[in-house]
Amino acid sequence: MTEQVKLIVGLGNPGQQYEQTRHNAGADFLQQLAQQHHCSLHPEKRFHGLYGKARIGSQEIHFLIPTTFMNLSGQSVQALASYYKIPVEGILVAHDELDLPPGTARFKQGGGHGGHNGLRDIIAKFGGNKMFFRLRLGIGHPGNAKQVASFVLKKAPQNERELTQNSIDHALYSLPDLLNGNLQKAMNDLHSHKA
């Protein structure tokens, strides 16, 4: 039996200058999820982030957008998980993914950090445990590793943002299956989606 997700995290950088940048795709997803469930996210000092909770189906789910910078995301996630005694396997992290094209989203459980500093810090703060769920939101790759840092911190052009929004919409639609413990159905549904 898969551990039920009790915490959904959307990764991004804080501050207006980072809003709608590629690196904030995870935070954008979480904000839209919170809106969908009429949940207000408020600054919560002890969790170093914007926090709220909502009932989805029969479950109460915690929402978190870390307001640390991306490379310190684990500090925020670990603080909340520790406070509410949520195991690593009960966490879903939504993040931008260089290895997928815009308009593509994927669920998975476990795996490495793939060079993503937010995932790297979360894994480190949980003592190397990688078994949290991920929602990987494709942003594409600039084609040159040296350009990655500036690429992820830029706003994508309008057509690319529309593709990313399309994948966020479909992830929101597929999410209840994952929350009900049916990872395979959620994965199949999301993976069959074409932008």
Residues designated catalytic: 23
Does residue 99 contact residue 131 with C-beta atoms inside 8 Å?
A: no
Q: Across 24-98, where does the E strand assignment appear?
A: 42-44, 49-56, 59-66, 91-97
Phi, psi of 118 (to 5 degrees): -65, -50
Q: 160: number of CA atoms within 13 Å, CB side?
A: 18
Q: Sign of the C-alpha dihedral, residues 46, 50, 54, 56?
A: negative
SS3 (DSSP) at 50: strand
